[in-house]
Chains A and B, each alone.
Chain A
Amino acid sequence: MTVPRGVWAATPAIKGPIKIGYQAITSGTLAGYGEFHKYGVDMAVEEINAAGGIAGQKVEVEFRDSTTKGDTAIENCRYFVDSWGADFLAGIDSSGQALAIAPVIERLDRVIIITHAATEKLTEEMVFKKGIRQIFRISTPTYQDGHAAAFLAKDLTAVKWSTVSPKYEYGFTCWKMFQDTLGKLKPGVSFVAESFAPFGTTDFRSHINTILDANPDGLYSTEWAGELITFVKQAKEAGLFEKIKHVMFPVGAAMDVLEGLGKEMPDNIWISGRYFFLYPNNKTNNEWVARFRKRWNHYPAYVSETGYSSIYAFKAAVEKAGSKETKAVIQALEGMEMDSPAGRRVFRKEDHQAIYDVPWGKTITDPKYPFKVMGEQKVIPAKEFFNRPPFEGAGTSPPF
């Protein structure tokens, strides 16, 4: 008997290449973010292709500038799927964009893994309530910035809290989450001043005056990227860190901020992010950080890690499903566990949010690094504070 050949040969279940359309900000004041994403994504593609690809097929990534506008993000998604033939999508920095593309993703019927946009509404409203099952998020949502900060703040001696935060959805939501949660965890705290700075603020001096006027003992600020750098410098000039002892920056552990401020970041500031390169202190992460530094001569930013891991998540899901069809891959991703530099991640079935731990820590000077790092790391397990949406039923309602 002869072996069937030609058209009779077993056709592979997955026909390559596996095409992933990735978008992040590569222009304007936040252009650095796109570069950080790209480092992680490129590294994952190089590694995966060198090791034989995804299910034997080569991975191809096309990278596009998302700017910060919703319609550009939508346009990119359409281009990736309709013109370029993407199997999967990933990326997105801004919450507004994430919400804007949700209905488009449903129509295009491709899985997208969000790697930065943090709005909890994406997973709670779009995925859980509206049932747009094509959306997954591998990075932490606003729960990390709002709830976790409050869990930490309840053990601090500060009782009068204030904020300087960005004047848009993200800044408002995080501050509200922080107030609601801390208010429940520690009755008696008060929130004495708030000042919201429009996007692109380069002069925080009036905002700083608002805070100093209220004489608080705690400051919570979700300023991020370059604006956080500017804010810290100007707050330092005004003597704010001498007057306020308890300061929390939920996105302060971003590499652009830490490297940008260098020694000028004050000590004893609580910082966190979506991932920090010194956590978890295990073989997988340490080796990855070493490889990353060798490849790019940089420490990995958090979006480098989430970008990197998003490509590996597609690999794991496609190989688990034995297919790259949207439906099969969604099924594979739901509840999927994966190891990553950031530790073990589980994609929660109900809202497609990846559950994983990111530490909070206090800034310290470490002679090994030219910038401040997280000392006194405090890990609040994600499953304890990632808002539990109603799907977990009675008896599981959160204590906050």
Chain B
Amino acid sequence: MGRERQLVQSVVHVCLAGLSAGMFIWLVASGLTLIFGVLGVLNFAHGSFYMLGAYFCFTVLRHLGENFWIGLLLGPLFVCATGLVVERFFLRRVYPLALPYQLLLTFAFVLIFDNLVKIAWGGGSLSPPSMDLFGGSIPIAGRKFPVYNLFIIAVGPLVAIGLWLMLERTWWGRIIRAASSDREMASALGVRVPALFTGVFVFGSWLGAVGGGLAVPYVGLLTPGMGDTIIIEAFIVAVIGGLGSLKGAFSAALIIGVLSAFGTRYFPAFDMFLIFILMAAVLLWRPQGLFGEAR
């Protein structure tokens, strides 16, 4: 094999790995960003919704046969119920309080959910059987790449477009935007803000849970602490993109995914370091993040 062809093969596959990693993080970060953008809540427990999404999806798969798509459809619905309880009975009470109270409350939920998962599913890791989705892997530039990862790469932009259409083009979107920019005014105009917030929170939880469901074949492993690592990455994405900006989160996820893939392959000594350098540089240059609005 010629040296040039080898390089092309390498670069193509590193790009693909980076794109799928980036779009995967975006799926989790989108719900986090939406909830912050509308409700102004930094939801630490979002990683737990991701974890619960994965576990429920796995359980549905186990009881209802091996059809992954049914698991992906039903699993996150259980998490919506969890999100509803969290917002309606707990989070709602701390909206008027300072940010640290929200952080503490949502962090408490992280610990509770981690332990509940241990009680319900056991402390060890669960390894779902590999699913032959879309026929496994296909050769791209002389090397195999799983079709499922191409699917993730495609789903990311679709979710972004869907969210954009919903927020910009629908009546619901207008109401949500109105309520997020001025709660009192929206409420005075007859919008039932508390119910709307519950709805947005549940929808955000669902997005996180879908990320978890998609992780079942993507990561291939479920562990009781799996939400803790992803929430940090999702936070990094949300902060670099500008807290609350979906456009920002999408771009940041893309940049971070590809950058860390290249880092791991070509500058292994600095792989994580590159992300933190990027974060520091962005925050120095634009403290509000790439697409954030200065407050």
Q: Which residues of B contact A212 (CB under 8 A)?
A: 13, 143
Task: Assess whether B220 is interfacial by the CB under 8 Å rule.
Answer: yes
Q: Which residues of A contact B162 (CB under 8 A)?
A: none
* B129 near A35: Cβ-Cβ < 8 Å: no
Tell me the smallest distance from the CB of B91 to a CB of chain A, in Å. 25
* A237 near B223: Cβ-Cβ < 8 Å: no
- Measured in the bound complex, the distance between the Cα atoms of B225 and A34 in whole Å is 14
Q: Which residues of A contact B21 (CB under 8 A)?
A: 203, 205
Task: Assess whether B125 is interfacial by the CB under 8 Å rule.
Answer: yes
Q: Which of A28, A195, A202, A234 has the most CB atoms of chain B within a 10 A radius of its CB?
A: A202
Task: Assess whether B20 is interfacial by the CB under 8 Å rule.
Answer: yes
B contacts with A: majority SS: helix
Asked, given contacts A234-B220, A238-B137, whether A209 binds B13 with beta carbons under 8 Å apart, the answer is yes
* B14 near A206: Cβ-Cβ < 8 Å: yes
* B268 near A32: Cβ-Cβ < 8 Å: no
Which of B216-230 touch A at CB < 8 Å? 218-221, 223-226, 228-229
Which of B93-101, B116-124, B247-255, B283-291 touches A?
A: B116-124
Select one of B24, B220, B260, B264 contacting A233, CB under 8 A.
B220
* A35 near B224: Cβ-Cβ < 8 Å: no
Q: Which residues of B contact A209 (CB under 8 A)?
A: 10, 13-14, 17, 265
Tell me the smallest distance from the CB of B49 to a CB of chain A, in Å. 17
* B18 near A206: Cβ-Cβ < 8 Å: yes
Select one of B10, B20, B125, B226 contacting A225, CB under 8 A.
B125
- Chain B residue at minimum C-beta to C-beta distance from A35: B123
- Measured in the bound complex, the distance between the Cα atoms of B260 and A292 in whole Å is 45
Task: Assess whether A155 is interfacial by the CB under 8 Å rule.
Answer: no
- Measured in the bound complex, the distance between the Cα atoms of B123 and A256 in whole Å is 12
- Measured in the bound complex, the distance between the Cα atoms of B272 and A200 in whole Å is 12
* B265 near A206: Cβ-Cβ < 8 Å: yes
- Chain B residue at minimum C-beta to C-beta distance from A260: B127
Q: Which residues of A contact B144 (CB under 8 A)?
A: 237-239
Asked, given contacts A29-B125, A202-B219, A203-B17, whether A237 binds B268 with beta carbons under 8 Å apart, the answer is no
Q: Which residues of B contact A256 (CB under 8 A)?
A: 124-125
Task: Assess whether B261 is interfacial by the CB under 8 Å rule.
Answer: yes
Tell me the smallest distance from the CB of A243 to a CB of chain B, in Å. 9
Task: Assess whether A149 is interfacial by the CB under 8 Å rule.
Answer: no
Task: Assess whether A315 is interfacial by the CB under 8 Å rule.
Answer: no
- Measured in the bound complex, the distance between the Cα atoms of B218 and A29 in whole Å is 17
* B268 near A205: Cβ-Cβ < 8 Å: no
Interface size on B, residues (CB 8 A): 46
- Measured in the bound complex, the distance between the Cα atoms of B219 and A27 in whole Å is 20
Residue interface bits B136-153, CB-to-A below 8 A is 1, else 0: 110000011110010000
- Measured in the bound complex, the distance between the Cα atoms of B223 and A260 in whole Å is 12
Select one of B130, B137, B145, B268 contacting A195, CB under 8 A.
B268
* A200 near B229: Cβ-Cβ < 8 Å: yes
Residue interface bits B75-118, CB-to-A below 8 A is 1, else 0: 00000000000000000000000000000000000000010001
Select one of A34, A206, A233, A260 contacting B123, CB under 8 A.
A34
Task: Assess whether A179 is interfacial by the CB under 8 Å rule.
Answer: no
- Measured in the bound complex, the distance between the Cα atoms of B124 and A29 in whole Å is 8
Task: Assess whether A339 is interfacial by the CB under 8 Å rule.
Answer: no
* B272 near A198: Cβ-Cβ < 8 Å: yes
Residue interface bits A22-42, CB-to-B below 8 A is 1, else 0: 000011110110111000000
* A226 near B221: Cβ-Cβ < 8 Å: yes
Residue interface bits B1-26, CB-to-A below 8 A is 1, else 0: 00000100110011011101100100
Select one of A29, A206, A210, A239 contacting B137, CB under 8 A.
A239
* A261 near B10: Cβ-Cβ < 8 Å: no
Task: Assess whether A169 is interfacial by the CB under 8 Å rule.
Answer: no
* B224 near A205: Cβ-Cβ < 8 Å: no
- Measured in the bound complex, the distance between the Cα atoms of B144 and A238 in whole Å is 5
- Measured in the bound complex, the distance between the Cα atoms of B125 and A200 in whole Å is 13
Q: Which residues of A contact B137 (CB under 8 A)?
A: 237-239
* A261 near B127: Cβ-Cβ < 8 Å: yes
Q: Which residues of B contact A236 (CB under 8 A)?
A: 130
* A203 near B219: Cβ-Cβ < 8 Å: yes
- Measured in the bound complex, the distance between the Cα atoms of B17 and A210 in whole Å is 12
Q: Which residues of B contact A203 (CB under 8 A)?
A: 17, 21, 24, 218-219
* A31 near B226: Cβ-Cβ < 8 Å: no
Task: Assess whether A196 is interfacial by the CB under 8 Å rule.
Answer: yes
* B221 near A229: Cβ-Cβ < 8 Å: yes
Asked, given contacts A206-B17, A237-B146, A239-B137, whether A31 binds B224 with beta carbons under 8 Å apart, the answer is yes
Q: Which residues of B contact A210 (CB under 8 A)?
A: 264-265, 268
- Chain B residue at minimum C-beta to C-beta distance from A207: B264
A–B Cβ pairs within 8 angstroms, 12 of them: A27-B123, A31-B225, A32-B122, A32-B125, A205-B20, A205-B149, A205-B261, A207-B264, A210-B264, A225-B125, A226-B221, A230-B221
10 nearest CB pairs, A to B: A32-B124, A31-B123, A260-B127, A205-B17, A206-B264, A233-B220, A239-B144, A29-B223, A28-B225, A226-B125
Q: Which residues of A contact B (CB under 8 A)?
A: 26-29, 31-32, 34-36, 194-196, 198, 200, 202-203, 205-207, 209-210, 212-213, 225-226, 229-230, 233-234, 236-239, 256, 260-262, 264
Q: Which residues of B contact A (CB under 8 A)?
A: 6, 9-10, 13-14, 16-18, 20-21, 24, 114, 118, 122-127, 129-130, 136-137, 143-146, 149, 215, 218-221, 223-226, 228-229, 260-261, 264-265, 268, 271-272
